[in-house]
Structure 1
Amino acid sequence: MDKSIEKAWLALAEACKENLQENERQEVRRAFDYAYDILEERKWKSGETIILHSLEVAEVVAREIGLGMDSIIAGLLHNVPYEDVPKRPGFNEIEEMFGPFVRAILEGMAKINALGTDTVDLHSENYRKLMLALAGDVRVILVKIADRLHVMRHLETYSDDSIRKIAVETSHLYAPLAHRLGLYYVNSEMLDLCLKYLSPEAYQHVFDCLKESETERKNFVAEFVKPIEEKLKSKGFKFEMKARTKAINSIWNKMKKSGIPFEEVYDIFAIRVILDSEPQSEKSDCWQVYSIVTEEYQANPERMRDWITVPKSNGYESLHATVLGPNKKWVEIQIRTQRMDEVAEKGLAAHWKYKGGSASAEMEKWLASVREILENPELNVVDFIDEFNTNIYKDEIFVFTPKGDLKRLPAGASLLDFAYEIHSAVGDHCVGGMVDGRKVTLRYQLKNGEQIAIDTSNNQKPKLDWLDFAVTSKARNRIKASLNEERKREADNGKEILLRKLKNWKIEYNDEVIRTLLKHYRLKLAQDLYYNISTEKIDTLSIKELLSAKGETEQQSARQKLADNMATDQFKEMDFSGGDDYLVIDNNIKDVNHKLAQCCNPIFGDDIFGFVTISEGIKIHRRTCPNAKQMFERYPYRIIPAKWRDSDKKTSFQATIRLSGIEEVGIVAQISNVISKDVGVSMRSIAIDSTGGEFLGTLRVYVQNIDHLEFLMRKLQHIKGIQHVSRADG
C-alpha cells in the first residue's frame, strides 16, 4: 500500500476516535478494506488517487462535520458505485454489506453526480433537479458538502475552465447550504477558496494585510481579555477564551460594500468565551458572563444578539455583544457553552449527537419548504438562485401568531411574508393586519417578538407591487405564480376580443396582422398584446385604424412600389392585368424582370409575393418561405403582392421532397419507378442516407404545378417502408 494512502487512513482512524465506539471503528476499517479492494490505487485523469480522495472526504465527514459511522462509510464508498472498475458493486451489494442508511446516502449522491454537478449551468432546469436531490436526506447534503470542500482544497489540479465552473457553483450552492446547516467554518473556507480562484488579486491583498497586522491583533486581544479572565476566574467559572479572525471573503465583501480600505474594517476578529457549564445552568451562566463583560466594557445595545432564548433555525445558540475595547475600538464578543460551541462548529451534524440521530424539526421544515418551492412547475430558476443566496445569509427574527405559535422569518420580512408563511391562501387575500393590537399595512416590516394577526378579504388578489416588499422565497414565488395565472386569464380574454373585432371589420386574423401590431405597439409577445387589449391599455379603435391604413397602403402600392424601385423601361414590361393590386406572374419563368427565389422554389399554384431586390429585379417567394418573416418585418416597402396568371401552358418547376422511413431492399428502384411512370415528372437527383435500419432521403424533381407535386407525394407515401414525405424549402 502506498505510504500516502496509509497516512490518510491513520488520520481518518484518529478522527473516528472522537465520536465512534470500538465496534463502529472496526466497521469503518472494513469499509476502507472493501473500497481499497475495488478501487485499488487507480488515479483520475487529474493524477489524484481515487481512494486517497475518498479517505480525505471521510476524514472531513468525521473530524470537521462530526457525523457518525454511516456517513463516514458513505464518504469512503462514495466513488465505488460508479467508477469504471472490474469489481464495481451494485447498491444491493452495498446494502447487504453496510446497511440501508449507507445505501440511501450513496443513492442520493449518485442522483447528484448523474446531473454532472461540476458543470451544471446555474440557470438551467438541471439546477432545480440538483436542489431537489439535495433537499432530501440531510446527510446526503453533509457528505456532498464534505466532498465539495475536498475538491475546493485541491482545485489547482483541475483545468482553468473547470476551476471557474466549480468555484461559481460552490459559491452559489454548497457554501450557502453549509451556512444554512450551521457549518459556518466550512462555508467560510469554501467562500475564501472561491475568492482565491475567482479573484486572486483581491484574495492576496486581504491575506497580506492580515499577515502584516497579526502581531498588532495579538497584542490587542491580550490586553482586551486580561481583565475579563481575572473576573471570570474570581467568580469560579471554568472557561476558555479565544480570538477568531473574520474570513478573507467576508472582509473583502465588507471593503467592497462599504467602499473602505482594510484598515477601516473594525470587526476583523471576534473574541469567544466558551464555558464549561452543566446543562441546567447553561443559560444563566451565559447571562452572568454577559453581565461581567458589559460591566468592564461599554456595550452597544443595538448590536446585542440573543440566540440563547430563541436559537436560530439551524440550532445555533450564542450571546453576541459589541463592546468598546482598549483604544476606543469596537470588538464583538460571543458567549456560549461547550455544547453550544460544538453545535456552532459542526452545525446540524451535532444534532445527531444530542438529538438521537435526527435533524431538528426546524431544519426538516426548511427542507420541506425548499422542496415545495422547487416542485412548482412555474418556478423561475434564476430568481430562485438569487433569493436562495440572499435569504440564506440574512439574520432571522421571530414573531408570534395570535395563539402564541412562534414563526421564524428572515430579517426585513413584511406582514405579507408572515401571511404567506401561515398559508398561501391567507397571503393571496391579505389586506393588512394587527401588530400588538395596532393596525398596520401589508408593507409593515416585522420586528422581533411581535404578535401578528392577519386581516383577509375575498376580493383581494396578489398585485405586482407586492414583489417590491415581499422578502421570502415562498411569498415571492406564490405571488409570481398568481400574477401569471391572472395575466393568462386576461390575455385569453383579450385574444377573444381581438378575434371578434377582426371578424366584424372583415380583416383576416393571421401572423402578419399580429406582427404588425406587436411592432407598432413595441411589444415582444402576442400575450402582452392580448393582455393590453383586455385591460384597455390598447384601444381597439386604434387597432382598426392601423390595420385599415396598412391594408389600403398595401392595396394601392403594388404598382407604386415598383415604379419607385425599378428602372422605367423595366417597369413598362410589368403585368398589372389583374388591376393595380397585384403583379401578375406568368408561368413562363424565363421572364427577365422576375425570378423564382431558390430559398423556397415557388411552384405554379403556391401563394406567392414579390420582393424587389437591389440588383436582380424581382424575386418571387412562397408565402411560407423561411425568409418571409424577416423580409416583411425589415423591408415592407419592397414587398409586392403577386399572383399567378391562369394558363394552359405546361412548364416545369423544380421542387425538393424529403423522405424518411425504414430501409427496404430496392427502395431507390421503387422511387425511380414511381417517378418514371408519371408523365411530366423528371428527376434531377436522389440522395439516400441509411443508418441503423432507417433512412433519410432528398429528392429533387421537376413538376408542372402544386397539384402535380401533391399527387406525386401521395404516390411516394404508398411505397412500402416510406413513413414520412414532405416538401422542403430549398
Structure 2
Amino acid sequence: MTVANPDHDGPGIADAIPSADDLVARVRAYHKDADGDLIRRAYEFSKAQHEGQTRQSGDPYYGHTVAVAFLLADLRLDTATICAGLLHDTVEDTSATHEDLIELFGQDVADLVSGVTKLTQMELANKRTKQAENLQKLVVAITKDVRVLLVKLCDRLHNMRTLYHIDKFEKRERIARETLEIYAPLARKVGVNRICVELENLAFQNINPAAYVSITRRLSALRAQRSEAIAMVSEIIGQRLTEAGIDVRVFGREKRPYSIWRKLDRKGVSFEEIADIYAFRVITETVDECYRALGVIHQTWRCVPERFRDFISNRKPNNYASLHTTIIGPQNIRVELQIRTEQMEAIAETGVAAHWRYKSGTYSYDPNAAQAAGGDPLERLRPLVEILEQGGDPDEFLEHAKLEMLVDQVYCFTPKGDLIALPYGATPLDFAYAVHTELGNRTIGVKINSIERPLRTRIRNGDVIEIIKGGKRQPPPGWEDLVITGRARAAIRRLIRNSERDEFERIGKVIAEHAFLREGMEFREKAIQDAFKRLEVHAIEDLYLALGKGQITSTELIDAVFPGRREERGDLRLRELINDEKGALFVHGRGLTPGVTLHFADCCSPMPGDRIVGVLRPLKGVEVHVIDCERLASLEYEADQSNWIDLKWTAEAQSNSISIGRVVATLRNEPGVLARIAGTVGDGRGNIANVKTLHRTVDFFDMEFDLEVIDSRHLNNIIAALKTNDCVINVERARAD
C-alpha cells in the first residue's frame, strides 16, 4: 500500500463513497445533456489509478477526488470541469500522463488537469520564493481559464474539511495560513462566497484554535439566550411582507467565528457590540420587490442609519448585489437584513460559477450573461495580472498580490460617475493607479469632492476623486508609503526602478566620456560597441548601467575598447588594487612574520599616505588600521598591546597601486546631481567603484561612494573638488564608529 502526496492528505469521506451513477445524476439535475459516459469513465480511471493509495485517515484516496467532483457539481459546472475534478491528482500522484488524458478524455479535460497540477506544485514548496513563483503561474493559469481555479478551490476545500487528520500542528498551520492568505481571497475575488467563508473559518480553526473555541462558546451561549427573540423577528418579517403582498422566503444565518474575530481585531469592539452576529436574508422575485420590502421593514422597526448600504445601485466589483440594513428588533437586539433577488443570491454565493449557461448547444461560462447581471467577476483578477506585468522579483509579486487581495473596501467615484472599489484605508494615489498606471505615474495632486486635499488623505465611501495630472514621471521620495494596494506599490516600484536605471545610465555615460578624455581620445559610442562581447553586455544602455553601478570600471572599459594596449607605468589603470591577498606586497613592518595573513580593516579603509598600525588578532592574522581609527582606540582596552605592530607602506604601494576610498556625501535632491558628481570624480582622475543611497528626503539625500584612488592625498583632492560643487552640502571620508 502507498500513501499519496502528503500535501493532499486528510481523511476520506466518512460515509460510503458515492458511485459514478450518483455523480452523473447530480450533474444531470442541472445539466440535462451532460455526457454521463465521460463522467463514468473519468470516475473509474481515477479509482483505478489511485488503487492502493490511502489518505491519512485510512480511507481510499479516490474518495477525495469524488468529493471534489461533487463540490464542483454543487457549483453547477460543466462536464469537463467535473471530469477534471475526478482526475486532478492523476498526473501528480500516479503513472498517468498528460498524453494519456488527451487520448482518453480529450484536450479540454487534459488541459484543466494540467493547470491544476501546476498549481498544486506551489503547495509542495516550503520556501517563500518558490511559492511566489508558483503564485505567478497561478494568476496566469486562472486568467486563461477560471475553471482551473474552481477545481483548485474545491480541492482545497475538501482538504481543509479533513485537515484535522494531519498530526503535526506546524503542517496544519502552514496549509491553513496559505489557505487564508491566497485561496480564500481568490475565492472572494471571483465571488464564490460559499467557498470563501468556509475556507476562512476552517483556516482560522487551525491557525488560532483557542480563539475559535472561545468565540464558538460565546455564540452557543448567545444562541441559547436570544433564540426566542430571533425566531420572533423571522416570523414577523415574513408575516409583514406577506401582508404587503410581497412573496418572499426568509431564512437566518449566524456570523462565522472567523468573521467575528476579524471584526473584533479590526474595529476593537466588544463581542456584544457586533451588530450583525445574526442576520436574515429576504429573497424576493424582482428588484422592485427588494425596495418595497425594505420600506415595509423600516416602517416596522427602527433602522440604524449608518448601517444602510445599497449594493444594488452600486454593485461590488465581484458582481455582488443586495440591500443591507440593520434594525433594532425585539428586546433591543440588533439584526442585520440582506434583501436580494434569487439571481442575486446565486451570484452572492457562487460568483463566477453562477454564469454557466446553455448557449449554442453547449453548457459553459457565459461572459455576456455576467455583464448583463452587472459585470464580469473575472475582471476582479485583472489587478493581479497588472501586478505581474509590472515586473520585479517573485517575492515582490507575492507581497503585492496579498495586499491586492485585501477584503475590506470603500467605494468611490470618478468625476464621470464610474464606481471604483478600493481596500479600506486607500488613498487618492491608490485610486489613480486603479484607474490607469499612467495616471498614477503622473499624479501631482487630488481634489476630493471638489476640494483640494493632500495625497495622503484616506478615501471614504461615496467620495468623488479628481486626480490632478502633471508631466513629471520621477516618483517623489516616500511615494510608496502613500499607497496600500499591491497594484499601486508594484507600479511605483517599477517607476523607481526605471528612474534609478536612467540615473545610473547617465552616470555611466559620464564615466565613459571621462575615461576617453583621460586617454586623450574622442568619445565615440561606435568604438564602445565593438567591445560589447568582451564586456559581456548586449547594448550601450546595459554598458552605461554597469558603469554607473560600478559593475564595470572605466579601466576595464578602456582595456576592452583597446585590447592589448600597454599603458605607461605609473598610470592609475595599471596599478594593482590593494587588498588582503596582495597585502604583503604593499605593507611591511618590523616583527611582521613573513607569510602572515594581512587584513585591511573596513572601519577605516587604510590607503597609502595614511599612518598605519597592525593588530595581531588570534587565528585571524594582522589587521591593518589607520593610526587615528576610532575603533582602534577601543582595541587598546581589548587587545594585548604587545601584539601591536608598527607598519609602513612599501615603495610598491606608493608608486604602483590603487586603493578604495569611501566617502559619504549629502547632496541636493535635484536632477543630474549624480552625473555631476561622477564628472567631478573623473576630472580628478578617480573612478567610482560603487554607489549606495543611505537616506533620501524631499530636498536632500545621503550617499556613500567607493572611489578608486592612488593614495590618501589623491582622495583628499577629490573630496576638496566635490566640496566646491554647489549641489554638494557636505562630503567627508567615511569612518566607521
Instruction: Tell me the TM-score normalized by structure 1.
Output: 0.65
Cα deviation, residue 73, structure 1: 0.9
Cα deviation, residue 259, structure 1: 4.5
Question: Cα deviation per residue 1:603-624 (whole Å; 9 max; x = unaligned)?
Answer: xxxx9999532568x946999x
Aligned to 1:393: 407
Cα deviation, residue 44, structure 1: 5.0
Aligned to 1:425: 438
Q: One-letter code of the match for 1:422? A: V
Report if aligned partners of 1:183, 1:344 keep a CA contact under 8 Å in 2: yes
Q: Does 1:256 align with 2:265?
A: yes
**Would the alpha carbon gap of residues 620 and 189 (structure 1) be closer, same or farther in structure 2, given more than 3 Å must change?**
same
Question: Cα deviation per residue 1:324-377 (whole Å; 9 max; x = unaligned)?
Answer: 112222211000112211111212111224996135464333323312212332
Aligned to 1:689: none
Report if aligned partners of 1:179, 1:392 keep a CA contact under 8 Å in 2: no
Q: For 1:90-101, list aligned pairs within 5 A.
A: 90-101=97-108
User: Which ranges in structure 2 are unaligned for 5 or more consecutive residues?
Assistant: 1-12, 518-545, 551-583, 600-606, 626-630, 653-737
Cα deviation, residue 262, structure 1: 3.5
Quick one: which of 163, 171, 179 aligns to 2:188? 179
Cα deviation, residue 10, structure 1: 6.3
Report if aligned partners of 1:597, 1:621 keep a CA contact under 8 Å in 2: no
Quick one: which of 301, 304, 307 aligns to 1:300? 304
Cα deviation, residue 255, structure 1: 2.9
Aligned to 1:352: 356
Cα deviation, residue 289, structure 1: 0.5
C-alpha distance in 1, partners of 2:485/2:617?
Answer: 58
Report if aligned partners of 2:132, 2:397 keep a CA contact under 8 Å in 1: no
Q: Does 1:231 align with 2:234?
A: no
SS at 2:318 equivalent: coil
C-alpha distance in 2, partners of 1:239/1:440?
Answer: 46
C-alpha distance in 1, partners of 2:634/2:547?
Answer: 22
User: Which ranges in structure 1 are unaligned for 5 or more consecutive residues?
Assistant: 505-525, 531-575, 586-591, 601-606, 624-630, 647-730
C-alpha distance in 2, partners of 1:615/1:409?
Answer: 60
| Structure label with greater radius of gyration | 1
Name the structure, 1 or 2, with higher relative contact order (CA <8 Å, separation 6+): 2
C-alpha distance in 1, partners of 2:440/2:633?
Answer: 45
Q: Does 1:156 align with 2:164?
A: yes
SS at 2:380 equivalent: helix
Cα deviation, residue 252, structure 1: 2.1
Q: For 1:569-588, list aligned pairs within 5 A.
A: 582-584=587-589
Aligned to 1:107: 114
**Would the alpha carbon gap of residues 84 and 354 (structure 1) be closer, same or farther in structure 2, given more than 3 Å must change?**
closer
Q: One-letter code of the match for 1:613? A: L
Report if aligned partners of 1:584, 1:644 keep a CA contact under 8 Å in 2: no
Aligned to 1:612: 615
Report if aligned partners of 1:164, 1:198 keep a CA contact under 8 Å in 2: yes
Q: One-letter code of the match for 1:59? A: F
Quick one: which of 75, 83, 92 aligns to 1:82? 92
Question: Cα deviation per residue 1:624-645 (whole Å; 9 max; x = unaligned)?
Answer: xxxxxxx999979968656789
C-alpha distance in 2, partners of 1:118/1:372?
Answer: 25
Q: Does 1:168 align with 2:182?
A: no
Q: One-letter code of the match for 1:73? A: C
Q: Does 1:415 align with 2:415?
A: no
**Would the alpha carbon gap of residues 227 and 364 (structure 1) be closer, same or farther in structure 2, given more than 3 Å must change?**
closer
Cα deviation, residue 167, structure 1: 1.2
**Would the alpha carbon gap of residues 382 and 633 (structure 1) be closer, same or farther in structure 2, given more than 3 Å must change?**
farther
Aligned to 1:594: 593
Q: One-letter code of the match for 2:250? A: M
Report if aligned partners of 1:414, 1:442 keep a CA contact under 8 Å in 2: yes
Question: Cα deviation per residue 1:510-556 (whole Å; 9 max; x = unaligned)?
Answer: xxxxxxxxxxxxxxxx99999xxxxxxxxxxxxxxxxxxxxxxxxxx
**Root-mean-square deviation over aligned CA pairs:** 4.3
Cα deviation, residue 460, structure 1: 5.8
Cα deviation, residue 239, structure 1: 1.8
Quick one: which of 378, 385, 391 aligns to 1:377? 391
Aligned to 2:475: 462
Report if aligned partners of 1:373, 1:379 keep a CA contact under 8 Å in 2: no
Aligned to 1:556: none
Cα deviation, residue 301, structure 1: 2.4
Report if aligned partners of 1:132, 1:371 keep a CA contact under 8 Å in 2: yes
**Would the alpha carbon gap of residues 167 and 451 (structure 1) be closer, same or farther in structure 2, given more than 3 Å must change?**
closer
Aligned to 2:314: 310
C-alpha distance in 1, partners of 2:472/2:198?
Answer: 51
**Would the alpha carbon gap of residues 67 and 392 (structure 1) be closer, same or farther in structure 2, given more than 3 Å must change?**
farther
Q: Does 1:21 align with 2:24?
A: no
Counting matched residue pairs gives: 546
Aligned to 2:678: none
Q: For 1:262-661, list aligned pairs within 5 A.
A: 262-275=271-284, 277=285, 282-353=286-357, 357-359=365-367, 360=370, 362-378=376-392, 381=395, 384-385=398-399, 388-389=402-403, 391-402=405-416, 405-433=418-446, 439=452, 442-443=455-456, 445-446=458-459, 453-459=466-472, 461-490=474-503, 582-584=587-589, 594=593, 596-597=595-596, 612-613=615-616, 619=621, 641=647
Q: One-letter code of the match for 2:145? A: D
Question: Cα deviation per residue 1:301-326 (whole Å; 9 max; x = unaligned)?
Answer: 22211111232221211111111112
SS at 1:316 equivalent: coil
Question: Cα deviation per residue 1:28-66 (whole Å; 9 max; x = unaligned)?
Answer: 223212322333343257745221110011111112x33
C-alpha distance in 2, partners of 1:289/1:191?
Answer: 32
Instruction: Tell me the TM-score normalized by structure 2.
Output: 0.65
SS at 2:314 equivalent: coil
